[in-house]
Structures are given as structure tokens and as C-alpha cells.
Amino acid sequence: MLQVAATKHLGAFTLDARFELPTPGVVALFGRSGCGKSTLINVIAGLLDADSGRIALDDVVLLDTGQHVDVAPERRRIGYVFQESRLFPHFDVAGNLRYAARRAGSPRFVGFDLVVDLLDLKLLMKRRAHQLSGGERQRVAIGRALLSQPRLLLLDEPLASLDASRREEVLPYLEILRDQLAIPMVYVSHNFDEVLRLATHLVLMECGSTTAQGGIGEMSLNPGVRAIIGAEAVGAIVEGTVLGTDAASGLTRVGVGGGELKVPAAAAAAGAKLRVQLLARDLIVATREPQHLSVRNILRGVVTAVTGDEGDADLIAIDIGGTIIMARVTRAATRELKLTAGLPVWALVKAVSLRSHFTRVPR
Amino acid sequence: MTPSLSANESEALYLSLSVAARSLLLSLPFAILLAWVLTRRQFPGRTILDALVHLPLVLPPVVVGYVLLLLFGTRGPIGSWLQRGFGVELIFTRNGAALATAVMSFPLMVRAMRISLENVDRGLEDAARTLGAGALDRFATITLPLMLPGVLAGAITAFSAALGEFGAVITFVSNIPGETRTLPLALYAALQTPGGDHAAARLAVISIALGFAGLLLSEWFARRVRRWLGR
């Protein structure tokens, strides 16, 4: 368990943060630029002194201003991947990695060769930072942070300086770290797609304060999160279990709530956990069982809430058997279909619209 | 003009180099320390310390030599202590000449280092910190290597200035052949001697050649360091 509580005044800005993360897990600090995400992880790293607070990782107290405990950053054993990689320019890649390995604490849970392997750094070892692409630099920075044998890894928008295709060069490696090394991570981002792929938990930050937190599924429905990512990107994140492959279509059958989705996904063994985001704008709501449609995915459920959304639209929350999903419909549709809490409905979603929102569920 | 150096000329040249080298060795560690303190630390009296370091730049060198004489002379507070405690004699010696040139060239050295240090990305030091590097470790492995261009530039400028220091040296340690008579002092002595014009011209040529070589060497070093730092 990572427990963080901290306050810090910086001019007119006030940080007042409090969150907890079960370990191992990946918590995303999510919020608009300038909301204090980086300030908070600098406090966790110890690079910035908190006015007051307590930070503990499992049974190790790193900061407790009440007890005058303040472990120096160099002894906190917290790895930090910065947005601008911060590789040492006077060392090559191997030198940067060795710099961390030589100063690492014990126990050592990850070896030099393993890190080089996991992050595909073998061919880069002799290069200097200025001879690397942005994505390569971040891979080296991640490897360097890992080789300090950290108890916790902080990542401050590690992909923000990369364009979309370069991001895709780094993201899979972060998934590997999460799945294979089980190292707790705090991931700062204002990109919801990254959060969706990596995080198990989400802490929402607004104006320097942590305003909401919880599991990623629950937080995907949070109004504060919706306000940041915009109506187009809103959608419930649901976890499902692979049931098998649909022989006719080749799509993967995923059990979600009481129903079943067919999604285009890389072959996964039955029983594997998947995470799917159902974008609210892609969901169609029917009040009678639909027939004669090309839509592959029809989930049966009950409306639990109707809330007004921006524009001329409503968000309809639907319980599909223990799992809540959300559909965005026009207000006129709400009126005509008389959508209210308790009404049985069918939610339709096109398989193709699920494509980009498929990811493995972190253990 | 004969191309080979006379005994007096090579003696003056050797003394100049020897004094400048001693002066550099003496001042380099202090200059790095002061550059770091003045750039990175906030403390009361920082402005005064800064002014004190720069004072030799704006004072007549004779004044510096005179103050050194008061402090480091045989009866001066520091001079007598050094002599009694360590048997170190500064007045009328080349070590004294080195001290005088060190004081005179100190501001140049500190200034070059500070500029370089201000350009060192503190984010890299923070990164080293999160990797487990303590304060001294960070300084030795990150800060110092990254400010090396400034250290080098400062050292070469200071060395060159030390070769030519005149006023402070002659005031503090006088003009003694074979001990404190460096190139500029020899040149001055030649000019004071009837018929010494030719000797003075030769010494001037040697000084110019030395200065030119120093500048070229400095540029060459700077390029190598920049390449090493990947810039």
C-alpha cells in the first residue's frame, strides 16, 4: 500500500493531496496541465519539501512531518522517469544504466541483463543521448530508473514529448513492466488513452487537490474525469473475461457483466482478463429487443440513472449485470423512449468501435 | 634575431610557466568551490563575498601586491604564521609570485566557471539524486563534468593572465633574477637597461607567441570537451 498525504504552498498555488494505492498497482494522477500533478510526484520523490504530510510505502515511512521523518531523496529508493528523460549527456547508454546500477540498494529484484532485454536496449548501449530518438531516450530512462532497484516508480508524463507513433514505441514496454515486474507505479498523465492502458487506479486532481479516486472502472464514470476528457471520449471501462473465439467472425468473445461482447482482439486464451472501454457516444439504446441488425454486440440491462450532459445530450447509466456502462443519447431520444431509472433496455455497440480500447487487465 | 633562446630568456620563460602553473594549482580548487558557492548557495554576505572575489579586477595591481605584502609579509599575520608553522616563505620567492598571480587571475577563473555552472541542468542533478547519488557523489559525477568547459576556459584564461601578471608580482615579491623575474618582469628590466631594446623586443615576441599558443590550445580543448559532452 502506498499512502500519500501532502500539502505545499508555492506562491498562489496550494497543493493538498491525499491518496492511497494498493500495491502492486499503477495509479494514474490525472488532471489538466498545471493542476499540481508534477508538484505532487516531486514531493513523493522528495525533490520538493512538503509543508506537511505523510508518505509511506508498505511499512516504510518516507516522510512524516509530524514525527520529523524525512528520508533524503537519494535514500528513498524511488525511481523517477522524467518527461524530458534527463539522460546524462557525458555518459553513453550503458554508462547511464551503470550509474543507476552502481548506486542501487538491496534487495535487487531486477538484473542488468533483464532490464536490457525487457526494454530492448542492447543495440543502443554505445550511443549518447543526443544520438537517440525521443522514444529510445525514454526507454533508456525507464531502464535507468529500474536499475536503481526502486520500491516505487514515478513517471511524470513520460510520453508527453513524443508524437503518437513514438508513444506506441514506449507504451508496450510500460505494460511489460507492470505485468512482469509488479512494481508499484505512479503515472502522471493528462492523456486518457495512456491511463486507460496502464492504470489500475485513478486519482483525479483539480487545482492542486485530489478530488476523487478509485479503481479505473469506477473512475471512468466520474463526472470530474468526464469534464476533462470531453464528451467524445467518455465511456465506461469494464473488465471482462475471454470466453473464446467466435468461429464465424474470428472475433474474441468477452463476458462482460451478464452479457457478452465480441471484440476484435489479439488471440487470448479463454479465462484471460480484458479491459474494454465502451465509448458513450458509440452506444445505441433500444427499449425493445433489437432484431435484424448488423450490430454484433447487444447487452441487456436496466437504466440506473439519467444525467444531463453537455450539449443537447443525456448520459444514460445502464446496469448490465453488476457492471455499469454509459450511453450518450440526445435529449429528444430520452423523452421519446421515456428513459428513466428502472427501465429495461438493450445497449448496442458496434464491434469495430471497440478496437482501440482493448487492453489486458493488469494483474 | 637568433631563433634559439638565451639563458636569461629561457630562465624567464621557465619561471613564467612555473609561476603560472603553481598559481593555477593553488587557485583551481578554491575557484571551483567559490563558483559553486556563489552560484548555488543563498546566504547572508553573498554579495560581499562576490565583490571580494572580483576586487582584484578593479584594483590597481600594485594595491593587491601591497595588501599581500601586509598580510603575507614576514611580519604579516598570515605570512608569519605560515613561516613559523610550516616554514613556508612567500616573500621574494616564486611561490609568492604564484600567490600574487593567483589572486589577480582568480576573478577571471571564477567568472568563467560560474557561467558554465549556471548552464548545468539542475534536472540532471535531481535525476542523479533519485538514482541514489549523495551530494558529493553528484558533484563529482554530474556537476563537475558538466561544468568542465567553464573550468577549462577559466583555467586557461587564468594561466594566460598569470603568465603576464606584472604589478602585483613586482610589488609583492620584487624582481629577482632566477626566482621571481618572469617574462614581463624581465622585459621591464630590459627596458630599464641602457641598450636593452633588442632584448626587450625578443622577450615581447616570446610573450606574444606564448599567448597565441595558449589561445589555440584553449580552443582545441574546448572543442574536445564539447564533443565529449555531446554538444
Its pTM surpasses 0.90: no
- pLDDT at site A293: 81
Which pLDDT score, from 0 to 100, does residue A110 have? 87
Element (H, E) at A242: strand A235-245
| pLDDT confidence bin for A266, thresholds 50/70/90 | low
Between A356 and B35, the more confident residue is B35
Tens-digit pLDDT profile for residues A230-247: 877 788 888 888 888 888
Q: Which residue of A has its CA nearest to B145?
A: A90
CB-count burial class (<10 Å; 0-12, 13-18, 19+) for A71: middle
- Measure in Å the smallest separation between the Cα of A223 and chain B Cα atoms: 36
Beta bridge partner(s), residue A236: A278
**Looking at the partner chain, which of A45, A84, A88 has a beta carbon nearest the beta carbon of B130?**
A45
Q: Which residue has the higher pLDDT, A136 or A231?
A: A136
- Cβ contact, residue pair A74, B129, below 8 Å: yes
Q: Is B227 on the interface with A (CB under 8 A)?
A: no
Q: How confident is the model at residue A116 (pLDDT cuts 50, 70, 90)?
A: very high
Q: Which of A252, A226, A248 is nearest to A237 (CA)?
A: A226
The predicted model gives A334-340 an average pLDDT of 90
Closest chain A residue to B148 measured between Cα atoms? A90
What does the mean pLDDT of chain A come to?
87
- Predicted pLDDT of residue A239: 83
Percent residues over pLDDT 70 in chain A: 96
Mean pLDDT of A108-123: 90
Interface A-B, measured as beta-carbon pairs within 8 A, has a size of: 67
- A1 and chain B in contact, CB less than 8 A: no
Q: From the CA of B228, how many Å to the nearest CA of chain A?
A: 6
Residues of B in contact with A73 (CB under 8 A): 126, 129-130
**φ, ψ for residue B46, nearest 5 deg:** -65, -40
> What is the block-wise mean pLDDT of chain B (231 residues), using blocks of 10 residues?
77 92 93 93 91 92 93 87 85 91 93 92 95 94 92 88 89 88 90 89 91 85 81 63
C-alpha of A295 from chain center: 29
Q: Confidence band (pLDDT; 50, 70, 90) for A360?
A: low
> Which of B119, B126, B131, B146 would best serve as a mutation to test chain A binding (most A beta carbons within 10 A)?
B131
State yes or no: pLDDT of A310 exceeds 80. no
- Of B144, B168, B187, residue with least CA distance to B90: B168
Q: What is the pLDDT of residue A323?
A: 87
Q: C-alpha distances in angstroms, A268 versus A173, A244, A360, A362?
A: 19, 8, 9, 14
Is A74's CB within 8 Å of B123's CB?
no
d(CA A348, CA B203): 96
- Check CB contact under 8 Å for A103 and B126: no
Nearest to A47 among B124, B129, B230 (CB): B129
Give DSSP secondary structure letters for A95-155.
Answer: HHHHHHHHT--SS--S-HHHHHHHTT-GGGTT-BGGGS-HHHHHHHHHHHHHHT--SEEEE
Using an 8 Å Cβ cutoff, are A177 and A185 in contact? Answer: yes
